[in-house]
Amino acid sequence: MSTIDRYVGLNVQPAIGLDQMSIYVFSYFYDIANDAGLLAQSDDSSVITTISVRALKETAKNYCRNGSQEHPFLCFDLTYLYSLLTKGYGLSEQIEIHICKKIQQFEVAWSLGLALKLL
């Protein structure tokens, strides 16, 4: 993780106060968590699954040790998400994040987040 940690640490600004808020993640986070089997099993993609940042780390370790034929990049993807949250945004492993794909039946993506920030 040290190479990714270094890269993220140099290129991402810490989010002051983020650890005091409810954190919802979408899009790439959802897709990777789904591929890694971290999401609640449901046909409803608006279901919210809550996991700790530590769960990303432990799942990354598992995929990095054992690999995956179906998802060969999960080791990297999970490691990147963990590093982004801890080294980039400064969150502790105990923080819980809420993962979902939709809010009120509308799919949320990074472009909506960017648009809201610019308003």
Tokens encoding 102? 């939709």
Of 99, 95, 84, nearest to 31 by C-alpha is: 99
**Of residues 78 and 9, which shows the higher confidence score?**
78
How many Cα atoms are found within 13 Å in the side-chain-facing hemisphere of 4?
15
Say if residue 114 is exposed, middle or buried (CB neighbours under 10 Å; 0-12, 13-18, 19+).
exposed
Give the global pTM.
Answer: 0.83
pLDDT in tens, 36-90: 999 977 767 778 899 999 999 999 999 999 988 888 999 999 999 999 999 999 9
Q: Is residue 8's pLDDT more than 70? A: yes
Q: Where are the domains of the chain?
A: 2-109
CA distances from residue 115 to 60, 84, 112 in whole angstroms, order as listed: 31, 21, 5
Q: Under CATH, domain 2-109 is a member of which superfamily?
A: Exopolyphosphatase. Domain 2 (3.30.420.150)
